[in-house]
């Protein structure tokens, strides 16, 4: 069986959660399970049972941002791959701006014959800003924070490209 891990990256408001939610479909089921030998697992499973995502997607911003740390995310990915899901999606702002732990995961998965894709959502700043404003009910945001998030994501993208990772850009 071919398995693929898809790491969706982008700044706030670029549509990471929306993109993953669209891959799961409208009948997705949220799962929370406690493991005696590890952290609590939170994930979402598509109705077809072939696709899963790290995190819960019942609210506006899903994904892995609520996880304790990268190790918890990696643990959940391993659990989902072990359950036989063909695709495992993960995303979040914390994920989008960090590189090395997910590069190591990429290397380890490739050794095991599992594909790892780095998918960067590259929405124009104005689009992301408008989405955040809508999501926040018009409440002003600190523009400099969003600019820094864009810059941070671009740094990780450049590192992934230099390292020869499978980087895909989704620009809209």
Q: What is the CATH classification number for the domain harbouring 79? A: 3.40.50.300
The residue written with tokens 């990780």 in the block is 156
Instruction: Kindly list the distances between the CA atom of residue 112 and the CA atoms of 4, 99, 106, 116, in Å, as whole numbers in the listed order.
Output: 11, 20, 10, 11
Q: Which stretches does DSSP call E strand in 80-131?
A: 87-91, 115-122
pLDDT at 62: 72
Instruction: Encode pLDDT of 7-39 as tens digits.
Output: 999 999 898 988 998 899 888 887 877 666 767
Q: Is the pTM of this model over 0.75?
A: yes
Domain assignment of residue 92, given as a range: 4-171
pLDDT tops 90 at residue 170: yes
Amino acid 80: pLDDT: 94
- Looking at residue 34, its pLDDT comes to 64
Q: How many domains does the chain have?
A: 1
Place 60 in a pLDDT band, splitting at 50, 70 and 90.
low
pLDDT in tens, 82-105: 999 999 999 988 888 899 999 999
Percentage of the residues of the chain whose pLDDT score is greater than 70: 95
Of the two residues 157 and 95, the one the predictor is more confident about is 157
């Amino acid at each position: 069986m071919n398995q693929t891990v898809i790491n969706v990256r982008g700044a706030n408001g670029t549509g990471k959660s929306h993109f993953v939610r669209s891959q799961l479909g409208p009948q997705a089921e949220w799962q929370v399970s406690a493991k005696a030998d590890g952290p609590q697992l939170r994930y979402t499973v598509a109705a077809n049972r072939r696709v899963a995502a790290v995190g819960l997607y019942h609210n506006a911003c899903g994904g892995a941002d609520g996880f304790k740390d990268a190790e918890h995310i990696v643990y959940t990915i391993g659990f989902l791959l072990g359950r036989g899901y063909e695709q495992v999606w993960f995303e979040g702002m914390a994920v989008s701006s960090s590189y090395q732990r997910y590069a190591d995961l990429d290397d380890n998965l490739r050794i095991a014959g599992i594909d790892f894709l780095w998918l960067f959502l590259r929405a124009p700043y104005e689009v992301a800003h408008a989405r955040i404003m809508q999501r926040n009910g018009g409440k002003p945001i600190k523009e400099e924070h969003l600019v820094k998030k864009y810059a941070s994501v671009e740094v990780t993208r450049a590192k992934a490209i230099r390292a020869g990772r499978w980087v895909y850009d989704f620009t809209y």
